[in-house]
Amino acid sequence: MLSAEQNDRITRVGPDKPAGTLLRRYWQPAALVDELTGNRPIKAIKLLGEDLVIFKDDKGHYGLVGRSCPHRGTDLAYGRLEDGGLRCAFHGWLFDVNGKCLQTPAEPEDSNLCAKIQHKAYPVVERSGILFAYMGPGEAPEFPHFDCFVAPATHTFAFKGMIDCNWLQSLEVGIDPAHTSFLHRFFHDEDPKEGYGKLFRDTSIDSEMPMTKIMREFPRPRIEVEPTDYGMRVVTLREISEKNTHVRVTNLMFPNAFIIPMSREMTITQWHVPIDDKRHYWYAIFTSFGAPVNKDEMRRQRLELYELPDYIPRKNKRNDYGFDPHEQEHDTYTGMGADINVHDQWACESMGEIADRTQEHLGQSDKGITAYRRLLRMAIDEVEKGGTPLMVLDAQSAAKIMGPAAIDGIGPTDDWQGYWQKTDASKRKAASWANGR
Ligand code: FES
Ligand SMILES: [Fe+2]
């Protein structure tokens, strides 16, 4: 249980707020590359409570600038992309990707007003289909050499979706391995072939037991949380028999992402990025250790579930997440269909816009959450003291942060550690791009 002040401290994201200040020390997903294609690559976005415009100039450089024009405040999202920048539609002021004012065409020829104008601008880089922005002070940190960033473009796919609540609620779901046995429970097991590649429905690598059955029948996992140089590793153990244990290895990449196995070949690296205090996007990079990904097909499948341009899930609180009491009685724990993202969305959003952590009662199965909040508070304190928080990396330290292992399978009860390490090693050996990493 937290005090209201502590809860504010770890949830609020404005530039003057402790968590907002911390999150600004890292590259944050701002948009998908897919959102800036076509004839007019400009999009209004809100990120960490700030109204911004992201665009691609006529040379292909990405920029992220304040949404209101520094002349008299009109909306630059309606601007014109021309002459090496973004031009305001009101009086034609032109800004480059660095926020430098290039022209003030209504001013007299000899005016030097333009030279005095520096518009708010943040650097943007592309990584694996996502445009990341750095909104903090000083030099931006380096990216860790995680699989999702080093895998070739042929083996990654990026997507996003909006969630109507504070970012921390969803991040905390990602490090809560106990909920799977309940929230994502299916009362019937499908043919393992049908479940192939589906999170929590795939048959485990080394067993004929369907994953849905393991989750359903072993609801009290042992959870091991280990601190790592990138945040923490969460190992979830469901002992099936004296001989066999289901092992799931997931990771928290500090401060606001996690890395989980999706299937035998695929991992998901997922950020929860505040739009403002009360809404956020999940951004995911799917990374394949097997065959190249079929991006068009992955995108097509997901667009059946999400509505453009804002990537709003079609099942949401306005339609009760598709809740069907008959289904809840006979097929699924929630009655909200088979898509586990819908279940998670409901769980996060139904806690309220910003979960009231003064009223919660954490148990032992919440130990990932407790451990993460400790890290978060320490990093916030560190920034306030003027120090460098966890995962603000220089090139040397970034190069050392590789992997991580994200595994789901069944291993020997007496050597589950050796099991996941060996499984990770052989997965890397089999993947053309990951060999030796
Ligand atoms: S308000 Fe933008 S140029 Fe005048
Ligand atoms: Fe979940």
Using the mean position of ligand 1's atoms as its centre, give its distance from the Cα of residue 76 in Å. Answer: 9
Q: Tell me: pLDDT of 195 over 70.
A: no
- pLDDT for the residue numbered 200: 64
Neighbouring residues of 294: CB distance < 8 A, sequence distance ≥ 6: none
- pLDDT for the residue numbered 435: 73
Q: What is the pLDDT of residues 397-422, one digit of tens each?
A: 999 999 999 999 999 999 999 999 99
Q: How does residue 194 score in pLDDT terms, banded at 50, 70 and 90?
A: low
Which of 203 and 215 is assigned the larger pLDDT?
A: 215
Using the mean position of ligand 2's atoms as its centre, give its distance from the Cα of residue 177 in Å. Answer: 8
Beta bridge pairs of residue 293: none
Distance of CA 186 to the CA centre of its chain: 26
> Which numbered atom of ligand 1 lies nearest the CA of 88?
2
Residues less than 5 Å from ion ligand 2, measured at CB: 344
- pLDDT for the residue numbered 303: 97
Q: Which of 67, 69, 83 to mutate to test the pocket of ligand 1 (most atoms within 8 A of CB)?
A: 69
- pLDDT for the residue numbered 198: 65
Using the mean position of ligand 2's atoms as its centre, give its distance from the Cα of residue 333 in Å. Answer: 12
Cβ neighbourhood burial of 169 (10 Å; 0-12, 13-18, 19+): buried
In the 8-state DSSP scheme, what is residue 124?
E
What pTM, to 2 d.p., does this model score? 0.96
Maximum separation of any 2 CA atoms in the chain, in Å? 84
Pairing of strands 145-146, 402-403: parallel
- Mean pLDDT computed over every residue of the chain: 95
Query: 191 near 215, Cβ under 8 Å?
Result: no
Three-state SS at 385: coil
Percentage of the chain exceeding pLDDT 70? 96
Q: What is the pLDDT of residues 225-276, one digit of tens each?
A: 999 999 999 999 999 999 999 999 999 999 999 999 998 899 999 999 999 9
Q: How far is CA 354 from CA 12, 51, 138, 280, 412, in A?
A: 9, 20, 30, 11, 41
Q: Which domains does the chain have, with CATH numbers?
A: 27-134 (2.102.10.10), 145-430 (no CATH)
Q: Tell me: pLDDT of 207 over 80.
A: no
Pairing of strands 244-253, 257-261: antiparallel
